[in-house]
Amino acid sequence: MSKKYFGTDGIRGRVGESPVTAEFMLRLGWAAGKVFSREGRGRILIGKDTRVSGYMFESALEAGLVSAGVDVLLLGPMPTPAIAYLTRTFNASAGIVISASHNPYQDNGVKFFSSEGEKLDDEIETAIERELECHMEMVPSDQIGKVSRVADAAGRYIEFCKSCFPVGQNLRGMKIALDCAHGATYHIAPSVFGELGAEVVEMGTDPDGFNINDGVGSTSPDSLRQLVLKEKADIGIALDGDGDRVIMVDESGVLVDGDELLYIVANDRKEVGELKGGVVGTLMSNFGLEEALSTEGIPFSRAAVGDRYVLAELQSKGWILGGESSGHMLCLDVTTTGDGIISALQVLAALRRSGQMLSDLKSQMKKYPQHMINVACGRKIDLKQGGPLAKAVEGTEEQLAGKGRVLLRASGTEPVIRVMVEGEDEKKVNSLARDLAEVVSRELN
């Protein structure tokens, strides 16, 4: 059975448009409750980011779950990885996150974690979709689920994050510019870095329900760059709206993306003898990452874009470290899912152990110029079809002469086709990407 609602990262869309409606969320809660209570009375956690619509969807999911006989624990605004962690510590049947990650406030969505704090298997998502097609029938009144709120959720997670920093080390003497994107980490991240000893200069920590990811966060780092330079900070850390990604800015105001951060952590893990196997990237990972890891004798493998595919590849190989250029990093020796705060702590630990600045560690990896253009699409297109599209890709690859890559892929979270060209010459790469994007746009329209 092909899935109708679940995409690569749960269910996501524009608020008020199917399936991101209160009515659907009520049915989704009931359907999930039916699936997770098959082996007895279930208990499910619900957390959310700071979008104004989160309260509405929290109530709808809660009503659906309890009507299926499931107990509910409400966490309030919490980072996505915190919900994965708390799902494990509370021995819950599942965790639900209400968030659209790095998207604007007009979007929202739902993603699930299993009892182990991992993304759901396809089989469970399919089972939930099957229940969505069934008549919604409430359990008898004496079996209705109970709801309670977890008062110390933030404190529990803050302590967990701090425990992921090396014992005996601290951040004293380090000045950090921190951007929380007016999102779910606004009341978590400043405490984590501050309690480890850093001087923290905050931005993006005043959510109002509408300003999440609005000119701030990991997808809009210019304000953080300016803050780093203004405050003469040692490092800048930018998280996204739900806290599962991180990018950084060095002391000179230069952006350091997920590929570079992954290299820094991998090399540090190797230096201290804690790297198990190699590193998993994605089809979008810069070739410079692969090249730099090879120089260090670290194996590298590419997975499809999406953290669930990176996780699957890591599990199949028995490795522990992987990530995406967007800043979504998996450190399976520390936690089960991508976590922006914990990923940042791994980079900070590398800085402390090396005694160097972020710019120094970043310079050991040479990035290839890479240009990506998002082409809006209102319909699906077969990217492997022949005709003008295939000829355009083939022509672009010929011009790169074996010293670059071309990639077309449909986004799993937005209605766009991502057109990426990578090569040695930046001007040529940008020109080729624009030309190819025009061909894609013509084919779509």
pLDDT in tens, 201-244: 999 999 999 999 999 999 999 999 999 999 999 999 999 999 99
Query: Would the pLDDT of 413 be above 70?
Result: no
162 within a domain of the structure (yes/no): no
**What region does 153 belong to: left with phi over 0, alpha with psi -120 to 50, or beta?**
alpha
- 310 lies in some domain: yes
Domain housing 428: 370-444
Residue 43 inside a domain? The answer is: yes
Write the CB contacts of 257 (distance below 8 Å, at least 6 apart in sequence). 247, 325, 326, 327
What confidence score (pLDDT) does residue 322 get? 98
What pTM value is reported for the model? 0.90
pLDDT at 310 over 90: yes
Q: Residue 196 falls within a domain, yes or no?
A: yes
181 SS3 class: coil
Here the CATH number for the domain that contains residue 29 is 3.40.120.10
Spatial CB neighbours of 323, under 8 Å, sequence gap ≥ 6: 258, 259, 261, 262, 280, 281, 310, 329, 330, 338, 343
Q: Is residue 167 part of a domain?
A: no
> Are residues 59 and 85 both part of a single domain?
yes
**29 and 95, same domain (yes or no):** yes
Indicate whether 22 and 140 sit together in one domain: yes
**Is 348 within a domain?**
no
Domain termination residue (choose one: 151, 186, 203) = 151
Say if residue 34 is in the same domain as residue 74: yes
Query: What is the total count of domains within the chain?
Result: 4
pLDDT in tens, 135-176: 999 999 999 999 999 999 999 999 999 999 999 999 999 999
On whether both 17 and 146 belong to a single domain, the answer is yes
Q: What is the DSSP string of 110-127?
A: EEEEETTSSBPPHHHHHH
Inside any domain, residue 2: no
Among the candidates 200, 229, 254, a domain finishes at: 254
Same structural domain for residues 265 and 230? Answer: no
My answer on whether 97 and 125 are in the same domain is yes
363 and 308 within one domain: yes
Mean pLDDT of the region 105-132: 95
Tell me whether residue 141 is in a domain: yes
Which tens digit of pLDDT belongs to each residue from 385-407?
A: 667 888 888 999 899 887 778 98
Which residues is 306 bridged to in the sheet? none
Q: Is residue 262 over pLDDT 90?
A: yes
Q: Which of 99, 101, 114, 285 is catalytic?
A: 101
Q: Where are the beta strands (DSSP E) in 204-253?
A: 235-239, 246-249
Kindly state whether residues 18 and 100 are assigned to the same domain: yes
Shared domain check, 146 and 19: yes
Q: Confirm whether 101 is a catalytic residue.
A: yes
